Amino acid sequence: MLRIRGTVGELPVDLTLELDESDWARLGAQFGVQVQTAQPQAAAAPVTKPVNQDDAVWQVARDLLRKAGQLSGPELLDQLEGLTGSAAAGKRLLVRLRHSSDVKVASGGDTPLYSWIE
């Protein structure tokens, strides 16, 4: 399930989308992410924490920067806002990326440059 909240002009928007595995796979393909489908598990398999929506969005955000290699702050923020559907959520992901050990942030004149570290 994917929930989008925000505004369109002055109109409030609260939209909930239910996606099945094939929908998630197509969405992931748009960002170059391979979505793994659930595999049947044996009864004796250890219980693992399910991946929540925030973890999935975080992985897509990381993959977006990894694929690009380097993006300016405003470009990355625009893409993250598009991914999350909200400016606030996009900014939270940008801050989380800034503090990630896989990301280097350098001064690029007027804007920061976010680079993926291999």
Report mean pLDDT in 10-residue bins for the chain, 118 residues.
Answer: 76 77 77 62 52 77 90 91 88 91 88 89
pLDDT computed for residue 113 by the predictor: 93
Domain borders along the chain are: 2-36+53-116
CA nearest neighbour of 94 among 15, 5, 82? 82
Residue recorded with tokens 């219980």: 47
Q: What is the CATH number of domain 2-36+53-116?
A: 1.10.10.10
Number of alpha helices (DSSP H) and beta strands (DSSP E) in the chain: 4, 5
- Residues sharing a CB contact under 8 Å with residue 90, sequence separation 6 or more, in sequence order: 77, 78, 80, 81, 82, 83, 84
Residues 80, 74: Cα–Cα separation, whole Å: 10
- Which tokens go with 40? 């049947």
Residue recorded with tokens 């990630």: 100
The pTM of the full predicted model, rounded to 2 decimals, is 0.55
pLDDT computed for residue 27 by the predictor: 76
Residues 66, 48: Cα–Cα separation, whole Å: 26
